[in-house]
Copies of this chain bind each other. A is one copy, B any other.
Amino acid sequence: MVCKVVKVGGAVVEDPLAREGFLKAFSAVEGEKILVHGGGRSATKLSADLGMETVMVEGRRVTDEAMRKVVTMVYGGLVNKEIVASLQSLGVNAAGFTGADLSLVKSRKRPPVEIGGEVVDFGYVGDVVSVNAVALKKLMDMGIVPVLAPLSFDPGQGLLNTNADTMAGEVAAAMAGDSEVELVFCFEKEGVLDSEGKVIPEIDGPLYEKLRSGGVVSCGMIPKLDNAFGALARGVKSVRITDTGNLNGGTLIHG
């Protein structure tokens, strides 16, 4: 059985037109599929509207109690449910979940860490401990398409903020025990681009080393590629980095 785990970023889901295009492409994907979405920009906007300051450290949101409420509202409510409603209107039998629903994604609250000589407490941020692949499989066997918000669950702490790329990688790795999994990262660009701005159609381990040491791959792309190779190492069959219009295009990453 083939299963696609598709991650779509905030810039796409927060632009109504881009989202509509993406959801049409996603609805056309055959077979089992899981959608993991972001929503950081909307969280930042709601925080600002509420007069709250957003603090990011190395691209990650510091999540105090007030910010936890914001991300629960935005990721678990607004973004998730608007996607679910759009998919249902497109005829896809979607259901939206956080990591707390059915204990789908359990995590542990991250302890304070030292970054650049300073101790940073990310607050209500969770590092994934386990994914309930059995429950996800059962839902898909019922014809349900799970839509996952980037919120994980620590039974002692409640909902925790978790990076959506990481969550998608963890879900893909967990499903790989049972299915042939393709992990798809959908974002604004057509794929991984070379120095002339052209899409690199395929990347394997040796080519990645070459691209990286040659400085061809941009800084922003490195965590995405590291994440991709990490997923491959954990049994995911292939990873694709592509734009929202073509879930079978872009750059294919394999072992």
A interface with B by C-beta (< 8 Å): 46, 49-50, 69, 72-78, 80-82, 84-86, 88-89, 93-98, 100-103, 138, 142, 144, 151, 153, 155-156, 158-159
Contacts and interface: CB of A to CB of B under 8 A. Distances in A.
Select the residue from A73, A75, A96 with max chain B CB neighbours within 10 A.
A73
A158 B89 contact: yes
Count of chain copies: 2
Contacts of A86: 158
Given A77-B81, A96-B98, A96-B100, 9 more contacts: A49-B50, A73-B73, A73-B74, A77-B80, A81-B159, A86-B158, A95-B95, A102-B144, A138-B142
13 contacts: A72-B77, A74-B77, A76-B80, A77-B78, A81-B100, A81-B159, A84-B100, A85-B153, A86-B158, A88-B153, A89-B156, A93-B102, A95-B102
A72 B76 contact: no
**Interface SS of chain A:** helix
Contacts of A69: 78
Given A93-B103, A101-B95, A138-B142, A159 B76 contact: no
